């Protein structure tokens, strides 16, 4: 096009230099697996220093322990004792929820916190058992093995599931695959947690009403059928006792929320309930009047359980599946809780290091008679409010639990099961986050649908069904956004060189003779056909509109590729077909702002030669200016006397 190119493309699009294939692969792996660049601290360091930094990376306690002070210890001591008062009753309660011996709940609050204190990167996370994982273990393993008929095998499978959960978690951390957990969206977690909390509360009606036999199903229909079919066996003594303790626990939580300085009231309430309930049961001989109690708890520290791992069991696949699912849920909850509280204190926690810490503590726990543990929100909130400074608070909590295991377990003999049910219900009510669901409805209706699908799937189906439904809907939504990317018609903002979506900015004006389209996603094989058809429809609709209004005929189609981060060979074939279609209509295809990866592939595929580099521009504004110049020149070519005037006017612009 000779000298015309000078006017049309004052800022030519540059083609980045080609990289060797191996270097590109290395760069892609680094961006995928090492976005935080964990190796930067090792650069230009001697070998001895690299060894120390490596130890500190994998064992964070070696990093902060040398700076630990007595002031920190005083704060951690208070926080540790406070969360221990919550850990003991919660551990017993959640073990019962998982249909495991209550003593395993105490074991799980001893060894795992010690491991996490060595390997974890969070200063605030308090480790322990959680209700949702306990419910998952109960529902998934309970389908295969009845915990009442074969308790030994059931415990073995629970320990084996914990082992595989730990292996899976640690593997995700070591392989830097933590992004897998990100497939559990916020909406999914809100709905799943709310549904699980509802199911847990309903199942605690067994303890509140003093029922001996109860369904192993977790859906609403099964639970309600079991409750009302045994109405003649309801114990009013248990009901009255349960309602009183539940009211007390909810009241203390309300007071703590209204006055955060009195957080310790809510933290001490579960242990207070256990003590008061045990004293009442002992003095009134409640056990003889139909009120069920915990009974004997074995004294002593965690016995080794490596030999109990059921690797040769016919139910091994069930244990593996249970371990992976509970491991993912525990990771999602623990990492989210840790990051939330890290934001309050303005420090960063490494998600992959947290996964390694969770995995190692669950592997160690499975070998020492513990079942799945993570970082529960309630316990971590108490730890944070109690003023913890480091993970030493977990060591203090573990020490308190150790003292309980060695000397105090006989005191829990008379603890009524109805008190444990009340503690669980009070804790679960906080997981039903209806405010978050309302916010999802206001902000994103699709996220609300995902949330409600997870909720109703758990409540009316099962925990696994609810989780699968929510994940599938989330993935379908993601796939739809990839397979059906949005395209926008752009217009000019008056008195500017800015081009924006006409839907978003109604004041934006169409450019006569020019159709400007923006593609809002990478172009892959999954959406190439859709984009080809959608672009053709845009062109057809624009031509029909111009015919009906008598406006200037369409001459140019500009594709704004600023939002197209990458393109594959199917996408390039799509552009070639679009160009052929546009050529058949006697139109001209123009590209604007192709990204580096896109322009490299367009150059290698010879598409740039096909379209002509002079028709590729740095901005939409420059592309429109060039199109307008060519339109004016084509008009003036019919009148040679005005050609020089038009060219001079363009030069002035």
pLDDT tens figures, 408-442: 888 888 888 888 888 888 888 877 888 888 999 99
Tell me whether residue 32 is in a domain. no
DSSP state of 210: T
Same domain, 401 and 351: yes
Tell me, yes or no, whether 205 lies in a domain: yes
Is residue 643's pLDDT more than 80?
A: no
Q: With bands split at pLDDT 50, 70 and 90, how would you rate the model's confidence at 553? A: confident
Q: Which residue has the higher pLDDT, 202 or 557?
A: 557
Dihedral sign, CA of 50, 56, 62, 65? Answer: positive
Query: Do 434 and 551 have their domain in common?
Result: no
CA 1 from chain centre, in angstroms, equals: 54
Is 537 found in the same domain as 472?
no
Q: Specify the DSSP class assigned to residue 557.
A: E
Share above pLDDT 90 across residues of the chain, in percent, rounded to a whole number = 31
pLDDT surpassing 70 at residue 642: no
Beta bridge partners of 491: 500
pLDDT tens for 456-505 read 988 888 777 887 887 888 888 888 888 888 899 999 999 888 999 999 99
Q: Residues 271, 88: contact at Cβ < 8 Å?
A: yes
Residue 10 domain-assigned (yes or no): no
Least confident residue range of 82-86, 274-278, 462-466, 636-640 = 636-640
Q: Does the pLDDT at position 531 exceed 70?
A: yes
Whether 406 is in a domain gets the answer yes
Q: Does the structure show a pLDDT above 90 at 535? A: yes
At 636 the pLDDT is 65
State which of 447, 478, 509 marks the end of a domain: 478
- The confidence score (pLDDT) of residue 235 equals 80
Domain of residue 453: give its range.
68-478
pLDDT at 639 > cutoff 60: no
Instruction: Output the six-digit token pair for 647.
Output: 């060219």
Return the closest-CA partner of residue 319 out of 485, 166, 521: 166
Kindly state whether residues 455 and 498 are assigned to the same domain.
no
**What Cα–Cα distance (Å) separates residue 254 from each residue in 177, 260, 268?**
40, 10, 14
Contact 395, 83 (CB under 8 A): no
pLDDT at 156 over 90: yes
Nearby residues of 594 by Cβ (< 8 Å), 6 or more positions away: 13, 561, 564, 602, 616
- Give the separation between CA 281 and CA 308, rounded to whole angstroms: 35
Q: Output the pLDDT for position 239.
A: 84
The whole-chain average pLDDT of the chain stands at 85
> Which residue, 116, 168, 153, 509, is CA-closest to 326?
168
Of 462, 478, 494, which closes a domain?
Answer: 478
Are both 424 and 545 inside the same structural domain?
Answer: no
Q: Dihedral sign, CA of 130, 135, 140, 141?
A: positive
The whole model's pTM is what? 0.77
**99 and 203 co-located in one domain:** yes
Tell me whether residue 623 is in a domain.
yes
Task: Check whether residue 594 and residue 452 sit in a common domain.
Answer: no
* pLDDT at res. 18: 75
Q: Which of 233-242, 454-463, 537-546 has the highest mean pLDDT?
A: 537-546
Q: In whole angstroms, what is the distance from residue 515 CA to residue 543 CA? A: 10
Spell out the residues 6+ positions from residue 302 whose beta carbon is closer than 8 angstroms to its own: 107, 110, 111, 368, 369, 370, 405
Q: Among 452, 478, 504, where does a domain finish?
A: 478
Backbone angles phi, psi at 499, to 5 degrees: -120, 125
Let me know whether 417 and 517 are in one domain: no
Q: What are phi and psi of 400, to 5 degrees?
A: -65, -40
Judge if 427 and 498 occupy the same domain. Answer: no
- Flag whether pLDDT at 136 surpasses 80: yes
In angstroms, rounded to a whole number, what is the distance separating the alpha carbons of residues 589 and 580? 9
- Position 306 scores a pLDDT of 93
Task: Please state whether beta strands 616-617 and 588-592 pair in parallel, antiparallel, or not at all (unpaired).
Answer: parallel
Predicted pLDDT of residue 2: 36
* Same domain, yes or no: 236 and 125: yes
Cβ atoms of residues 271 and 307 within 8 Å:
no
Residue 344 in domain: yes
pLDDT at 507: 92
Question: Has residue 73 been placed in a domain?
Answer: yes
pLDDT for the residue 7:
46
Q: Are 478 and 217 in contact (CB under 8 A)?
A: no
Q: How many domains does the chain have?
A: 2
Instruction: Give the model confidence (pLDDT) of 177-217 as tens digits.
Output: 777 776 777 888 888 888 888 888 888 888 888 777 777 66
Quick one: 230 and 364 in the same domain?
yes
Name the residue among 382, 331, 336, 383 with its Cα closest to residue 361: 331
Q: What is the pLDDT of residue 640?
A: 46
Q: Using alpha carbons only, how large is the chain's radius of gyration in Å?
A: 32
Neighbours of 248 (CB within 10 A): 16
- As given in the structure block, the two tokens for residue 462 are 């099962």
Asked if residue 494 and residue 469 are part of one domain, the reply reads: no
- Residue 328 in any domain: the answer is yes
Distance of CA 191 to CAs 233, 335, 361, 366, 464, Å?
Answer: 34, 18, 28, 29, 13
């Amino acid at each position: 096009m000779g000298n015309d190119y000078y006017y049309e493309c004052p800022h030519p699009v540059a083609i980045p230099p080609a990289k060797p294939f191996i270097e590109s692969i290395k760069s892609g792996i680094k961006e995928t697996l090492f976005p935080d660049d964990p190796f930067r601290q090792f650069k230009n360091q001697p070998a001895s220093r690299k060894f120390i930094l490596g130890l500190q990376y994998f064992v964070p306690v070696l990093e902060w322990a040398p700076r630990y002070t007595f002031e920190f210890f005083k704060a951690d001591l208070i926080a540790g004792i406070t969360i221990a008062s919550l850990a003991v009753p919660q551990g017993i309660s959640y073990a019962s929820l998982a249909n495991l011996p209550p003593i395993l709940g105490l074991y799980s609050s001893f060894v795992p916190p010690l491991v996490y204190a060595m390997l974890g990167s969070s200063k605030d996370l308090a480790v322990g058992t959680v209700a949702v994982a306990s419910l998952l273990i109960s529902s998934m393993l309970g389908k295969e093995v009845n915990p009442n008929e074969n308790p030994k095998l059931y415990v073995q499978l629970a320990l084996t599931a914990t082992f595989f959960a730990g292996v899976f978690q640690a593997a995700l951390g070591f392989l830097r695959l933590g992004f897998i957990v990100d497939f559990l969206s916020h909406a999914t977690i809100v709905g799943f947690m709310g549904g699980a909390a509802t199911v847990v509360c309903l199942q605690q009606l067994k303890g509140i009403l003093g029922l001996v036999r109860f369904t192993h199903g977790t859906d609403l229909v099964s639970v309600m059928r079991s409750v009302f079919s045994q109405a003649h066996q309801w114990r009013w003594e248990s009901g009255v006792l349960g309602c009183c303790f539940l009211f007390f626990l909810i009241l203390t939580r309300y007071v703590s929320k209204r006055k955060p300085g009195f957080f310790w009231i809510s933290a001490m309430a579960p242990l207070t309930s256990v003590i008061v309930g045990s004293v009442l049961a002992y003095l009134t001989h409640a056990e003889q009047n139909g009120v069920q109690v915990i009974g004997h708890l074995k004294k002593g520290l965690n016995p080794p359980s490596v030999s109990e791992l059921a690797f040769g069991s016919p139910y091994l696949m069930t244990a593996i599946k249970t371990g992976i699912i509970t491991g993912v849920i525990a990771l999602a909850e623990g990492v989210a809780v840790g990051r939330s509280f890290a934001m309050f204190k303005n420090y960063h926690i490494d998600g992959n290091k947290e996964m390694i810490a969770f995995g190692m503590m669950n592997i160690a726990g499975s070998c020492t008679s513990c079942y799945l543990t993570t970082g529960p929100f309630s316990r971590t909130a108490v730890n944070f409010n109690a003023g913890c400074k480091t993970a030493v608070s977990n060591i203090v909590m573990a020490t308190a639990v150790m003292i309980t295991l060695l000397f105090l377990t006989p005191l829990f003999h008379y603890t009524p099961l109805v008190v444990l049910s009340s503690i669980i219900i009070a804790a679960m009510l906080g997981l039903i986050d209806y405010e978050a669901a309302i916010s999802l409805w206001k902000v994103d209706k699709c996220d609300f649908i995902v949330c409600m699908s997870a909720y109703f799937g758990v409540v009316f189906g099962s925990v696994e069904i609810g989780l699968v439904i929510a994940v599938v809907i989330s993935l379908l939504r993601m796939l739809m956004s990839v397979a059906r990317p949005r395209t926008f018609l752009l217009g000019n903002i008056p008195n500017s060189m800015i081009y924006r979506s006409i839907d978003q900015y109604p004041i934006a004006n169409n450019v006569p003779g020019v159709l400007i389209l923006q593609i809002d996603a990478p172009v892959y094989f999954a959406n190439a056909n859709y984009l080809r058809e959608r672009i053709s429809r845009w062109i057809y609709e624009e031509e029909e509109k111009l015919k009906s209004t008598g406006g200037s005929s369409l001459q140019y189609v500009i594709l704004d590729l600023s939002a197209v981060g990458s393109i594959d060979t199917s996408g390039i074939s799509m552009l070639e077909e679009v160009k052929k279609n546009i050529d058949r209509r006697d139109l001209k295809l123009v590209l604007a702002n192709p990204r580096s990866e896109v322009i490299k592939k367009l150059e290698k595929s010879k598409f740039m030669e096909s379209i002509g580099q002079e028709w590729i521009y740095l901005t939409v504004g420059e592309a429109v200016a060039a199109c307008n110049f060519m339109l004016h020149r084509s008009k003036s070519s019919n009148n040679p006397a005005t050609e020089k005037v038009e060219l001079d006017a363009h030069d002035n612009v």
